[in-house]
Amino acid sequence: MNQINKEKRNIVTFVNNFPASRFTSPLKMTTPQYDLSNTLPPHTLTRLAREWLAEDTPNFDPAGLCVGSHEVEARLLCKTPCSMLVGRPFFTAVFTELSCTVEWAHKEGAQLGPNAVTQTAVVRGPARCILLGERPALNCLARASGIATHCSQLQSIAREAGWHGHVAGTRKTTPGFRLVEKYAMLVGSVSIHRQDLSGMVMLKDNHIWASGSITQAVRDARSVCGFSSKIEVECGSREEGSEAATAGADIVMLDNFKPQELHAAAKLLKEEFPSVLIEASGGVTPDSLPQYLSPHVDIISLGCITQGCPVVDFSLKVQKPVPFPIIFQSK
- Could you give the residue numbers annotated as active site? 172
Biggest CA–CA distance in the chain, Å, is 101
Beta strands across the sheet bearing 71-78: 101-104, 118-126, 71-78, 314-318
CA-CA distance, 52 to 45, in Å (whole number)? Answer: 11
Are 292 and 168 spatial neighbours (Cβ–Cβ below 8 Å)?
no
